[in-house]
Structure 1
């Protein structure tokens, strides 16, 4: 008998985003039960959603530029595009590394290793942070991206359940994972900032425009 390949989820992208944000406990149950593949999750969910922040930032920087202490600097499109691409690549790599952390830690807390389940947790728990990236459309509202911290709560709900960690060890497993995730995203942010600084130094490069007021 030939093994059946996992069937893709019938839940639309918009419905999955809405449900994981509004009713995460119920949605984690559906996510846990549905068949999936790592590649499928990446293609149908991670790739489009991880692009929200970089694309929004690209548009925001191109239209509004950067404003600090009364000075407005609008970098060249090439510099802004390079920054967006670097941020996007960092997000794609970050979610994979988070899945590896989830999978590696699970057995230490009585859980079960599963690359697919770990990728589900990593991808769907990042939903809030990716969606919050839309605020980069208007640089003055970029600070609202802090709402993406809701992703930590999503991780708290989903990680123990999908990785089959016993209830008595669930809290410890999730806390350790969250700490690792915070360190991971801090490092990803550092890399993205370093790349950004290469294209946006203190003095504007040719191709950018500087204005006062």
Structure 2
């Protein structure tokens, strides 16, 4: 990864986490394509999370068993990719239920950047598994989603808050379901 790409990722992370309101205003005018956001932001963070989970699991085991660490890293990748895809689908489909204008490009941006705290927490807890209590910090994603939805989505004012709450709950349950199922599959295999 080039130094420019790393700098851009760090800047995006900093703005997204520390100043989300201004971040979403800037994203509203952004001309970056979906592919650029995926390859320049999401995949590097996801790769870093997978490597962190691999290293954390590999060095935690008493026998340095690589097979389980690889499967755990793959589980992390599958979890976040499926979460992204399903969250985009449900977030976009729920818009028409609340009499809004569906816009897949805006929804992709909203879901992708609101997953940032979950990815950062996964990197931290993947490397240092004893810090799992910090998983609660991923809830900050909901706040980022709330601000982004208010800024980016075209919904009737009286239905916007209901839409955001329902969408957050749906995406939370999807993430929980995927996490449990993938963990059960992993433990069933090993």
Structure 1-normalised TM-score?
0.79
Q: What CA deviation, in whole Å up to 9, does each residue of 1:96-153 have, x standing for no partner?
A: 2111111111122232211110000000000011011122211111221221111011
Cα distance in 2 for residues equivalent to 1:156 and 1:54 = 27
Instruction: Check the 8 A contact 1:79/1:199 in 2, yes or no.
Output: no
**Over the residues paired in the alignment, what is the CA RMSD in angstroms?**
1.8
- Matches of residues 95-110 of structure 1 in structure 2 within 5 Å? 95-110=84-99
The runs of 5 or more residues in structure 1 that have no matched partner are: 1-10, 66-72, 201-213
Cα distance in 1 for residues equivalent to 2:129 and 2:189 = 17
* Residue 158 (structure 2) aligned to one of 168, 192, 203: 168
The list of structure 1 runs, each at least 4 consecutive aligned residues, that deviate by more than 4 angstroms after superposition, is: none
* Residue 111 (structure 2) aligned to one of 104, 122, 139: 122
Structure 2-normalised TM-score?
0.88
What is the match of residue 26 of structure 1? 22
Cα distance in 2 for residues equivalent to 1:168 and 1:77 = 53
CA apart distance, 1:167? 2.5
Q: What CA deviation, in whole Å up to 9, does each residue of 1:142-195 have, x standing for no partner?
A: 221221111011111112321212322111010110111111101110122123
Q: Which has the higher strand share?
A: 1
Matched position secondary structure for 1:106 = helix
What is the match of residue 89 of structure 1? 78
- Matches of residues 22-101 of structure 1 in structure 2 within 5 Å? 22-65=18-61, 74=63, 76-101=65-90
The runs of 5 or more residues in structure 2 that have no matched partner are: 1-6
What is the match of residue 3 of structure 2? none
Q: Does 1:111 align with 2:107?
A: no
